[in-house]
A and B are shown apart, each in its own frame.
Chain A
Amino acid sequence: MSPPPAVWVSGLRKAYASHLALAGVDLAIPEGEFFGLLGPNGAGKSTLINILAGMVHRSSGRAEIFGFDVERDFRRSRQMLGVVPQELAYDPFFTVREFLRLQSGYFGLRHNDDWIDELMAELDLADKADANLRSLSGGMKRRVLIAQALVHRPPVVVLDEPTAGVDVELRQGLWRFMRRYNQEGHTVILTTHYLEEAEELCSRIGILQRGRLIALDAKDHLLARFTWRVLTVTFDKDPGPLPETLAGFLSGAGENTLVLRLDQSRHSLGAVLTALQDLPAQILDLHVQEPDLEDAFTDILGNMGLEQP
């Protein structure tokens, strides 16, 4: 028998009074994966995470962490799960260290100072260890939120927009940290609105929209579906009117530059290049742009008709 996946969700639905936040989601995330959960505002990402964390009751369907049901076996499932909530919250009564010790205690850990120190060092919080949480800046509070999710070294970490409102330097630090945590064998689930972040970190990506998982694939496959390329060509002078072979690809033009968009799977790049060389101007520069996750995302959402009610 294979071990149960880190996260397993089947037919998961959540209906709020007037609104269907999750409309039947099926998802299995194997142990050790770095999974990206993407989707526009209100898609249901936080709802899904909150059901896994036991903060929201599901309407129907199943949700398990390492085979433990998130409600019936909540002690075990929560013990295995660390969650960085989307909303910035803190307890104004305590210092960073006090707070992290209390969180450790909630998870049954009494002597956890070594790991707490390591976490604080790693997240650049060491010099704030004895500062009251109230006195920390927003970015610092966000780091404490990440530290609290990890005090019990959970095998599954869920980060709900951990880098919202965080400066570039810290974001880089957090990426390194999350990647290391994942490389140590832990499962990491990340939601973010920064697509470059998901592209940088995640090996597999799911896209939620209006409570449905509309795409679920390895990041590379997701990108490979997008076979078009954008070709930017700079000439030494105005290349003049375009022959018919090229005109169909034209998607933009500037002073002495042409922007062509072509589908690699249907059009020969070689033929296009030959046609370009036949133009009465010399090519100074050539730039080929591959689609990134942002393009894929817009494209998928566009195909699904994001604008429709």
Chain B
Amino acid sequence: MNEPTRSTHTLPAPPLMTPAAGLRFTPTWTLFYKEVLRFGKVWLQTVAAPLVTTLLYLVVFGHALGGRISVYPGVSYTAFIVPGLMMMAVLQNAFANSSSSLIQAKVTGNIVFLLLSPLGPGEIFVAMTAASIVRGVVVGLAILILALFYLHLPVIHPLWVLVFTLLGAGGMGALGLIAGLWAEKFDQIAGFQNFLIMPLTFLAGVFYSVHSLPPAWRKISLINPFFYVIDGFRYGFFAASDISVWLCLAVSAAFAAVTSFLAWRLLRSGYKLRQ
């Protein structure tokens, strides 16, 4: 038969340029852009609020303890706590971004638009984690800029600063994805933040050197991955750290790798997303 079996489209058929696998730029970029737009639209809550909190810590702890403690020679106590406070904010905000975006989309039901799209698990992971990193970096940079008005802070190894920012924020973005996938209510995310992220980041050597801790506490600190992220990050500023920067790198990279792998696996299996 010569008759065409297909009807003629007056509208062009959709582009068939989609490869069967791999990462496609436009869909991934769109989701990344959407996630950034989302926190940008509520910047007062997502950027300004953590900035204020951090500055309060800086002022209160810096003044209260400033004259009495010296951790590294030539570094004032206030300067010492700035990188730790920065990284604490980076970690918390990276986590908050992906977790709150996911739980919100799940609770309101608009996750359906992502699920109906041809984005694969890898693309969703990359886009959402990247947006988490951006939020972490924006908050961290804002803290740095404001802190620089207030005190002198060296940045001796900027590359280390960058590496630990990416690993810390990336790992927390991935952890936020895991929490967001697992949680069914906002409450559970809040619980995650208040009972896990907050204490772990707070006790990760932001305000003191672990060498000043009693041995038992020191051991506990050493199983906290955030301790390594913060210590390595601080090394980038002062070229001094509690433990080897390479060990910090290894632990931070392992943390980011494990959370990323888990997040990707959960996304791929459709865990709590596709029944």
- List residues of chain A with CB under 8 Å of any chain B CB: 2-3, 16, 31-32, 53-57, 73-76, 78-81, 83, 85, 87, 89-94, 98, 102-110, 148, 152-155, 184-186
Contact = CB atoms under 8 A, between A and B. Distances in A.
A153 B12 contact: yes
Contacts of A31: 6-7
Contacts of A55: 112, 115-116, 274-275
Tell me what chain A mostly uses at the interface: helix, strand, loop, or mixed. loop
Nearest to A87: B109
Contacts of A104: 30
Given A89-B109, A185-B9, A79 B26 contact: no
A57 B275 contact: yes
A3 B13 CA distance: 15
A55 B114 CA distance: 10
Contacts, number: 124
Contacts of B10: 184-185
A41 to B, nearest CB: 19
B60 to A, nearest CB: 34
Interface stretch (B15-23, B84-92, B208-216): B15-23
A87 B112 contact: yes
B24 A108 contact: yes
Contacts of A74: 118, 120
Contacts of A87: 109, 112
A154 B16 CA distance: 11
A110 B274 contact: no
A172 B31 CA distance: 35
- Using C-beta atoms within 8 Å of the partner chain, give the interface range for chain B: 35 or more
B7 A185 contact: yes
Interface of B: 5-21, 24, 26-27, 29-31, 33-34, 37-38, 41-42, 105, 108-110, 112-120, 270, 274-275
14 contacts: A2-B5, A3-B6, A32-B7, A54-B115, A55-B274, A56-B274, A76-B18, A79-B14, A85-B112, A85-B116, A92-B108, A102-B30, A105-B26, A186-B9
Given A56-B275, A108-B15, A185 B110 contact: no
A159 B115 CA distance: 16
A155 B117 CA distance: 15
A192 to B, nearest CB: 20
Residue of A81, A107, A184 ringed by the most chain B CB atoms within 10 A: A107
Contacts of B110: 89-91
Contact of A80 (B7, B9, B14): B14
B8 A185 contact: yes
B27 A93 contact: no
A91 B8 CA distance: 35
